[in-house]
Amino acid sequence: MKLLIIEDDINLANTLARRLTKHGFTCEVAHNSAQALQLVKQYKPSHVLLDMKLGDDNGLLLIKPIKELLPSCHIVLLTGFASIATAVEAMRIGANDYLTKPVDMPTLVKALDINNQLTAEITATPTTVMSAERVEWEHIQQVLHFNQGNISETARQLNMHRRTLQRKLQKKPVKQ
C-alpha cells in the first residue's frame, strides 16, 4: 500500500514513515502543500496521512484536490488542534478519518487499514507502553515545539522552573 505522509514537522514525518513502513506501507513524505500535490500526481498513493496545520497552510484545503486527482484515495487527517467543527468539515469534504495528536501506532494503522489487512498483525503484536519519563519527554518536546524553542515560555506553561526544564531536556529517555 502506497502512503503519502503530508506533515510539516520533519522529525515526526520521518518517524511516522519509518514506523508505518514496518507495518507494510511504502511511504513518501511531503512537508508543504505544493510538494504534496506534486507527489500525489507522481506517486499516486492509495492512502494519505494529512496534517491539518502545514506551516501557514491549512491541510483541509488539500483534501478536495487530492480527491479530485485520486477519488479512491483513503485520507486520514491528523491534527493537534482537534475540534468537532473541523472533524465535521474534514469528513464532509472527503476525509475518511480524523485523528488527534498524539496518536498511538495501532490506532493510526487501524485508521489507514481500510481492508483490515494489517489490523490482525497489530492486535497480535504486543504493544509496549511508554515509560512515564518518555511520556513526560514527549509532552515537553511538544510544548517546546509549540513555543518555537523558547525555554522560558515552555517552563512557564509547564509550571516548571526554567533550570529544571533545561535539566530534563538534557536527559533524553530511552525510546520504547
- Confidence at residue 120, expressed as pLDDT on a 0 to 100 scale: 44
CATH of 132-170 given 1.10.10.60, 3.30.420.10, 3.30.390.50, 1.25.40.340: 1.10.10.60
Strands (E), 32-156: 47-51, 53-54, 57-58, 74-79, 97-100
- Confidence at residue 153, expressed as pLDDT on a 0 to 100 scale: 92
Distance from CA of residue 23 to its chain's centroid? 15
Per-residue pLDDT of the chain (176 residues; tens, 9 = 90+): 899 999 988 888 899 999 899 888 899 999 988 899 999 999 999 999 999 888 788 888 999 999 999 999 999 998 887 778 888 888 889 889 988 888 888 888 888 876 655 444 444 444 566 677 777 877 888 888 888 889 999 999 989 999 998 888 888 776 65
Domain(s) labelled CATH 3.40.50.2300 in the chain stretch across 2-124
* CATH code given to domain 2-124: 3.40.50.2300
Domain(s) labelled CATH 1.10.10.60 in the chain stretch across 132-170
Q: How far apart are CA 1 and CA 125, in angstroms?
A: 20
Residue 155 makes CB contacts below 8 A (sequence gap 6+) with 161, 162, 164, 165
Are 113 and 106 in contact by the 8 Å Cβ rule? The answer is: no
